[in-house]
Amino acid sequence: MSTKYIFVTGGVVSGLGKGICGASLGRLLKQRGLKVRNQKFDPYFNVDPGTMSPYQHGEVYVTEDGAETDLDLGHYERFVDEDLNGNCSVSSGKIYWNVLNRERRGDYLGATVQIIPHITNEIKSRVYALAEEGVDVVISEIGGTVGDIESQPFLEAIRQVAAERPRGDVLFIHVPLIVEVPGSGELKSKPTQHSVKELLGLGIQPDILVCRCDTPMTEDVRKKIALFCNIEPDCVIQNTTAETLYEVPLLMAKEGLDTVTCRKLGLLTHQPDLREWSAMVQRAKKAHKKVQIALVGKYVQLHDAYLSVVESLSHAGTANDAIVTIKWVDSETLTPQNVDEQLADCSGVLVPGGFGGRGIEGMVTAIRYARENKVPFFGICLGMQMAVLEFSRNVVGFADAHSAEFSETTTHPVIALMPDQINVTEKGGTMRLGKYPCVLRQGSRSLELYGESEISERHRHRFEFNNDYRTAVEEKGMLLAGLSPNGNLVEVVEIPEHPWFVGAQYHPEFKSRPDHAHPLFYGFIKASVENMEG
């Protein structure tokens, strides 16, 4: 069977959930026995989100191969449970960067470089590259909204893909908004019609409309949309607001999204087996315990900055039959004077990753509170480093202990660049990105949770635990629970005498799945529930 291509576009307004639509369809097709690969095209000119402020674009999602990508890849991996790579997240910046570098090398043999064919060919090459990985279906989401000037090269490229491939190999799904008139509750399809008209003007006839709405569509509205948009009525799919995010694939299956997709693409498959997924959703809905976690970070004003952390807490809550609520605590405003008031109603404290010195002391304050009050604590990346810093200051006795990332004058840089990194002149060259192996120590809490001593996790950081301070912290009761295979890098720290105190140098949130909670998140929420009940 030749590879099939599905393109997902959005219309009327942004933020309608194209990514969730593509991820849900990916899950449904996978449950039908197909090998699926999701992809995201973003119209911004940054080469990738790696240098973008979390306030601009939310979290940076890191893949196994170390690519810094759009947060939608997190949705894809969580829903479809397939490891993606750097070719699955492509920005305009990356496209133009590659084309301009090829032009400088003379690859175009002196030709005038233009949007068509050079930019569009580069875009198409990214689509076709996924097919070379032996997948049955490639689902490519085009970021932005139809009508945006930035998206036009991508839309032209996918039009060309449809022209190049045999009939029946390409499917266009459009995600518009059905507008509800305030006060009357009447549903209006005119904006959807105009959005489809815009696509038609670009040479693209959508095959399926996944219409975002809060109120269920009437049959009359469905037929009207089908008539004016040139599609069959059963290809007008309503996408109403779900009770939980992971219920969307079930609702899409009920509406027949995967059925009409397979019909349009000529895919002969069995019905999707959704029993386990459905059981997971039901378990999440029926969870009866409630636990509140303090998420102490520097970007809490935009919750998407910690999207994978939030989802991982939710996965762990489901696995523990608990509903996890998050108390967002701005580390920049947290002080020793108000920490009791801020954290007293929380059963666990989580300090996530981040960059820069703003809000660091608030994180240290939160960690000290959790350590001294025996509250379950989980530190991720920067959170782990701040746990080492806090322990070094208040237990070991190094009063000025700090990270070399934030202080050039400290006499105790417990977090620092390792010797083989110091001579790297380009700061980005010191970043540890993507998957790295780790060996867990016998008797550690982490080993008990993982159930295996050799693991692999994804990283995104420059600074490391300074090995000069290993003996000092170990003598005072901190366990170096996970090391790199050669023993040179500290990956996990624990305090065995504490009910639950774990810091991980890596980002475990990138490998958590709704039906398979990450071991460390599972253990953290389990301990937090026990702390609440105790």
Beta bridge partners of 6: 139, 171
H or E element in which residue 378 lies: strand 377-380
- Asked if 118 is an active-site residue, the reply is no
Beta bridge partners of 459: 434
Q: Which of 211, 381, 459, 464 is catalytic?
A: 381
> Tokens 């993982």 map to which residue?
450
- Asked if 156 is an active-site residue, the reply is no
Q: Which of 174, 315, 402, 507 is catalytic?
A: 507
- Classify residue 32 as exposed, middle or buried by CB count within 10 Å of its CB (0-12, 13-18, 19+): buried
How many helices (H) and strands (E) the chain has is answered by 19, 23
Tokens encoding 447: 């080993």
Q: Please report, as a single letter, which amino acid is at residue 237.
A: I
> Three-state SS string across 304-358, please?
HHHHHHHHHHHHHHHHCCEEEEEEEEECCCCCCCCHHHHHCCCCEEEECCCCCCC
Beta bridge partners of 436: 457
Q: Which of 88, 491, 509, 518 is catalytic?
A: 509
Rounded Cα distance between 423 and 410, Å, is: 20
Q: How many Cβ atoms sit within 10 Å of the Cβ of residue 27?
A: 29
- How many Cα atoms within 13 Å fall on the side-chain side of residue 360? 19
> DSSP letter at 516?
B
Q: Please report, as a single letter, which amino acid is at residue 46.
A: N
DSSP letters for 384-412 = HHHHHHHHIIIII--TT-EETTT-SS-S-
Rounded Cα distance between 11 and 16, Å, is: 8
- Three-state secondary structure call for residue 369: helix
- Three-state secondary structure call for residue 180: strand
204 sits in the region (left: phi over 0; alpha: psi -120 to 50; else beta) called beta
- Asked if 461 is an active-site residue, the reply is no
Active site residues: 381, 507, 509
